[in-house]
Amino acid sequence: MSQSDLTRFFESFNDQNTEIQQQSSASGDAVINSDSQTKKSPLCKAKDQNSNAGGPIRNTRKKDQISPITQRLRKAATFQDSWKSKFPWLRIEERVPPNGDSSGTRQIVMFCSICEKIKIKTTLWSTTGCTMYKADYLRRHEVSKEHAINTFFLSQHKFTLNVIKDLTDFITFQSQNQIDTNNITNKELAILRPPKLPSKNKISFRDLSIPHNHVTHSSRSINHEFLEINSKIIEKAVVNEINKSLCWSLLVDESDSNSSTSEKTLTLASKHVVDDLPVLRFLGLLKISNTSPESLLAAIDNFISQKALNTSTLLHFGSVGSSNISGVHYGLFTLLKQRNPFISSNHCVIHRVHMAIDDATKDIPYFQTYKDLVKGIYTYFSDSYRKMYDLRDIEEEIDNPDLFILNKKETSWLSWAQVIHNFHMIIDDVYTELESQSGVSNMAKFLYDSIDTEFYVVTKFLADIMEIIMSMINVFQSDYVSLSETRKQLNMVIETITTNFIGTEFSTPNYGTYLLMYMNENSLSNYDLPGIVVQFSLNIIQSLRNHFPTSHLYHAMRILDPSESPDDQESLRTYGDSDIKFLADFYGVSKPITLNNTYHPPIIDNKGVIREWQMAKYLIHGYRNFSFMEAWKKIWVQNFQFRNQFPQLTKLVEIALTMPISNGTVERVFSRHHLIRNELNTEILSYYLHLTLNAPESWECFDYEKAYEHWIELSKAN
C-alpha cells in the first residue's frame, strides 16, 4: 500500500465503528481466514507451517488457546483484596446492589471514606456506592477534583486560602460542609505550611517549622516578595560563581511561551567550574517576541548587563541547533563570534542524533507508512474507553502495567523509541484483538490487513536498533560528558549496528535480539527480510558520521583527558606534542574582532602552555584510570600547588571541562517550565526555576540573613 493510498484512507474514513456489510453466505465465518480473502505477504516464502495463515508470520497461538482479552472478558469481575492497601480511602460493605433485587445475591459495594463524610454528596462513591470492580475506576476517582477538595477539607481544616483557586468557591464549599470536626478522625493528608519570613530581630529555624491550626490568607504581593528575595539570593550566588571562574559557557534554547500568541521564551543556563568540578546552573528566562538573531543578542546583552556577568571569560556557546541561534552564516552565535573570535559553538549531541535518524529515513518511503499505521492503531484503541480498557487488559496479562501504546505526534524518529519499545512487546495481542473486531469495524479490518510480515519485521528491527541508539542517548543525557566519551559512544554504536544488521566480508549479521528471536520462531532466513533492514542500517551509520564530523579543536582537547594517555612511558615522551601546539596557536595568539577592527588579546600564553605540558603530562598520566572530571578533581586536590605551578594548562583544562556537550540542563528547565508555567508571568516563573533548580540541597544551608537584607532593600525601594 502506497503512502498516498494510506493517507486517503485515513482522511476519508469517518465512521470507525460501522458494521461491515454482510458477506456472501459462501464465505460464512471464514471471511478473514479463507484462502480467497487471504493477502499473502511477499516475504512469506511459502512456508508449510504458515501456508494457510491469512496474514503475517507471527507468534500464533494454538487454535484452542484463548486470547488474553477473551479470557479477561469471560472471567467474572471480582473485588481484589489488594485494593484495600493500595487505596487507603476505600471502604467496602455487602449490601443489595443499586437497582438490584432485594431477594437476590448480595454483593460488595465500594465507597470512598473521605467523600462519604461530606454533607453535599455528588458522586456514587459517597451515595449509592460503586460495583464496577476495576482498578481503573478507583484510580480515576482518586485523581478527581471532588476527591481532592474533600481530602483538603477534612485534613483538620488546616487551610491556606490559596489552596483553592477561587476564594468564592472555597467559602461556598466551607459553608455547605459545616460538620462536627470532633467526628472527623481521618488523617489521609497533612498539609505542609509554608515557612514564616524571618523577622529582623530573630531568625530561628525552629520558628520556620511551627505549625499553625488557624486559617491564614496569603496576599499576592507578599507571595511575590517571598519568591523574589529567596530566588535573588540564589541568583546572586550563581553570578558570583561564574565571575570567579576562569571561563564559562552559555547554553541557550527557545520554546513557545504562549500557544495563543507568537511570544517565545528564551532559556539561559551556564556551565562553569566550582570547587574543581564543572557545574550547570539555570540563569534565567527571557520573554521575546522577535526571534531574529539581532533581537536575541539584544535581549541577552540586557540580561548579562543587569546581572553583571563577566563576558570576557565567555568562551563557549551551546544550543540545540536552530538556525536563528546557531546558524553559521547568520545566527546568534555568528554575532557573538564577531565580538569574541575565541568563542566556540557546539550543538547538543542529543539533537544531532535526532537529526541523524530523521535524515536516515528520508529516502525510505515505507517508514512514513509505518508511522501512520502505528498512529492509526493508537487512534483506534483510544476512540473509546472500552477499547482502552481492553488494551489495559493486554498490559496486565503480560505483567507490565506501565506498558502501553504511546501516542506520539512528533515527527522525530528518536521520539518514537519508547513507542516502538512498547509496541513490539504487545504486537501479537494487538493483532489478535484487531482480528476479533475486524468483523464489526472497518477500521479494525483495515489495520488488521495492514499488519503484514514486513510490518512485523520492521517493528522488531526498529526495537533492536532504537535500543542500541538509546543506550548512547542515556549517556549523552548526563550533564557532564567528556569529548572523548562522545567519540567512544559513537564508535560503539556504529560497530554494533554493523555487527547486528550489516555484517562484514568475514561474518554475517546476527540480527540483534528481538528480530533474531522473531526469525527463529518463524523459521525466517536473511533472504526473507526486507531490504529496509540493511538500507536503514547503512543510512544511519552514514548520517551519524555526517552529523558528528571531527573537529580539530575538540580532537586536540582529548589529550587533556588522562584516560587517553598511552600505557608505556616511551610513547608518553612525544604524546600530545602536536595537539598542544595546535591549542597554543588557537588560544595563545591575538585574533581580530570583526565588529570593530580591533584585536582580542590571547586567552593563554602559547609558549607557557607548551612548556607546562612537557612536565605536567607525566603527572596527568598517573590518573589515567579515572574519568575526565574525576581525574582532574583528584589532581587539583592531591596536588594543591598544581594551579600555581601550571596556570596556563589549568586554564586550558577548565576550557575543556566547560565545553557544552549536551543541552540536558536546558531541556530540564523547559520540562519544569511546562509544569509550572500556567498563568505565571516570566518573572515569577524564573523565580520558581531558581528555587527548584539552583537551591541548596538542604535549606538549612540557605543564607536567610541575606534574604532578609534583600527584603529590607525592597521595602525601602517601594
Domain final residue, candidates 510, 529, 547? 547
379 and 495 housed in the same domain: yes
- Predicted confidence band at 162 (pLDDT cuts at 50, 70, 90)? very low
505 and 374 housed in the same domain: yes
Domain final residue, candidates 512, 547, 582? 547
Inform me whether the pLDDT recorded for 163 exceeds 70: no
> In this structure, what CATH number is given to the domain that contains residue 335?
3.30.420.10
Give dist(CA 169, CA 166) in Å, integer.
5
- Predicted confidence band at 193 (pLDDT cuts at 50, 70, 90)? very low
Cβ count within 10 A of residue 640: 8
In a domain, 250, yes or no: yes
- Predicted confidence band at 475 (pLDDT cuts at 50, 70, 90)? confident
Question: Among 402, 406, 400, which Cα is nearest to 419's?
Answer: 406
In a domain, 14, yes or no: no
572 and 537 housed in the same domain: no
What are the tens digits of pLDDT across the range 499-548?
A: 999 998 888 999 999 999 999 999 999 899 999 999 999 999 999 998 88
520 and 563 housed in the same domain: no
648 and 693 housed in the same domain: no
416 and 288 housed in the same domain: no
pLDDT averaged over every residue in the chain:
74
In a domain, 208, yes or no: no
pLDDT the model gives residue 476: 75
pLDDT the model gives residue 221: 59
Residue pair 391/404 in contact (Cβ under 8 Å)? The answer is: yes
Per residue, what are the HEC states of 119-177?
A: CCCCCCCCCCCECCCCHHHHHHHHCCHHHHHHHHHCCCCCCECCCCCCHHHHHHHHHHC
Q: Lowest-confidence range among 83-92, 112-121, 307-316?
A: 112-121
Give dist(CA 138, CA 110) in Å, integer.
9
309 and 404 housed in the same domain: no
Domain final residue, candidates 171, 192, 213? 192
In a domain, 219, yes or no: no
Percent of the chain predicted with pLDDT > 70: 62
Residue pair 590/600 in contact (Cβ under 8 Å)? The answer is: yes
Inform me whether the pLDDT recorded for 16 exceeds 60: no
Number of domains forming the structure of the chain? 4
Inform me whether the pLDDT recorded for 386 exceeds 80: no
Q: 486: which 3 cell numbers?
A: 562522545
523 and 573 housed in the same domain: no
432 and 451 housed in the same domain: yes
- Predicted confidence band at 662 (pLDDT cuts at 50, 70, 90)? low
In a domain, 48, yes or no: no
pLDDT the model gives residue 455: 94
Question: Among 172, 229, 173, which Cα is nearest to 197's?
Answer: 229
pLDDT the model gives residue 27: 38
Inform me whether the pLDDT recorded for 362 exceeds 90: no
281 and 380 housed in the same domain: no
Question: Among 77, 142, 87, 17, which Cα is nearest to 396's?
Answer: 77
Question: Among 293, 377, 378, 385, which Cα is nearest to 332's?
Answer: 293
pLDDT the model gives residue 121: 72
Q: Which domain holds residue 652?
A: 552-657
Inform me whether the pLDDT recorded for 196 exceeds 50: no
In a domain, 70, yes or no: no
pLDDT the model gives residue 145: 77
pLDDT the model gives residue 3: 52
**Of 699 and 314, more confident:** 314
pLDDT the model gives residue 552: 86
Provide mean pLDDT across the span 7-27.
42
Q: Lowest-confidence range among 32-41, 297-306, 617-626, 668-677?
A: 32-41
Inform me whether the pLDDT recorded for 61 exceeds 90: no
- Predicted confidence band at 462 (pLDDT cuts at 50, 70, 90)? very high
For 689, the enclosing helix (H) or strand (E) is helix 682-693
In a domain, 1, yes or no: no
653 and 666 housed in the same domain: no
What are the tens digits of pLDDT across the range 598-613?
A: 999 999 999 999 999 9
Inform me whether the pLDDT recorded for 631 exceeds 80: yes
In a domain, 15, yes or no: no
Which whole-number Å values give the CA distances from 3 to 342, 456, 460, in the listed order? 49, 18, 21
445 and 419 housed in the same domain: yes
pLDDT the model gives residue 600: 92
pLDDT the model gives residue 485: 78
